[in-house]
């Protein structure tokens, strides 16, 4: 263990990896709130990750720590392990449910719904998805394509096309009613790891990567994409 003098918080609390024990906000929030309660005096954390693509394919733990504090750089590297450092953690900022700040409720192709989004105070963007009510199980490999623009409509950046959530958590694994999180880095959707504060927007379309034509799934009004404007990005 990296720091044997410190009590670890294991997420999930398992001794053996379980591909079905996928972390979410409801099972990480309470544990983190307790671990960093005010009376502990703890305000920083080292995040040590090992095979996190199995238990945390959507990066929920880093999102929780970023919502609660701020990531700081560090240069140490270890084979087979990830190591990140966070400071300024506050227990009341950990969440126990998907932090959907701006609801959208847009359904694509009667298959998947974009529930909403949340801009993070470092420029990152969280998207929240859900299998559409009544949609049957599907092996479609759903991806999204996202392009951003400035407040005056000028093109800004084109994010790399990707699966709706983590690469190792494709649409076929989603459970009915589950809200799944996509973490889009600022460098991808705003074109900079240190974006300027301001208002931005994006367009987003969804398609099946198994379709050679990448035909967009249409929304309820027949559109091939959704357009979201006036997203306030603040950096603290």
Domain residues of the chain, as ranges? 25-93, 102-233
Bridge partners for 162 per DSSP: 144
pLDDT digits (tens, 9 = 90+) for 79-96: 888 999 999 999 999 999
Phi, psi of 171, rounded to the nearest 5 degrees: -55, -35
The dotted CATH code for 102-233 is 2.60.40.10
DSSP string covering 53-96: HHH-TT-HHHHHHHHHSEEE-----BTTBEEEEEES--GGG--S
pLDDT at 3: 65
Residue partners of 38: CB distance under 8 A and separation at least 6: 91
pTM of the model as a whole: 0.94
Structure tokens at 135: 């949609």
The predicted model gives 34-63 an average pLDDT of: 94
pLDDT digits (tens, 9 = 90+) for 167-218: 999 999 999 999 999 999 999 999 999 999 999 999 999 999 999 999 999 9
């Amino acid at each position: 263990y990296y720091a044997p003098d410190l009590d670890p918080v294991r997420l999930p609390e398992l001794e053996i990896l379980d591909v079905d024990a996928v972390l979410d906000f409801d099972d990480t929030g309470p544990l983190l709130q307790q671990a960093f309660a005010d009376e502990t005096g703890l305000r920083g954390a080292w995040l040590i990750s090992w095979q996190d693509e199995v238990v945390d394919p959507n990066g929920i733990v880093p999102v929780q720590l970023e919502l609660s504090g701020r990531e700081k750089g560090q240069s140490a590297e270890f084979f087979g392990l990830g190591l990140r450092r966070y400071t300024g953690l506050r227990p009341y900022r950990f969440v126990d449910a998907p932090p959907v700040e701006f609801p959208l409720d847009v359904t694509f192709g009667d298959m998947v719904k974009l529930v909403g989004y949340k801009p993070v105070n470092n420029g990152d963007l969280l998207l929240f998805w859900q299998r559409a009510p009544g949609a049957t199980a599907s092996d479609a490999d759903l991806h999204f394509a996202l392009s951003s623009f400035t407040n005056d409509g000028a093109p800004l950046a084109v994010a790399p096309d990707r699966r709706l959530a983590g690469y190792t958590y494709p649409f076929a694994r989603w459970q009915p009613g589950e809200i799944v999180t996509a973490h889009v880095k600022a460098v991808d959707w705003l074109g900079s790891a240190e974006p300027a504060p301001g208002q931005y927007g994006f367009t987003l379309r969804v398609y099946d990567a198994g379709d050679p034509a990448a035909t967009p799934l249409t929304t309820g009004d027949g559109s091939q994409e959704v357009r979201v404007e006036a997203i306030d990005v603040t950096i603290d």
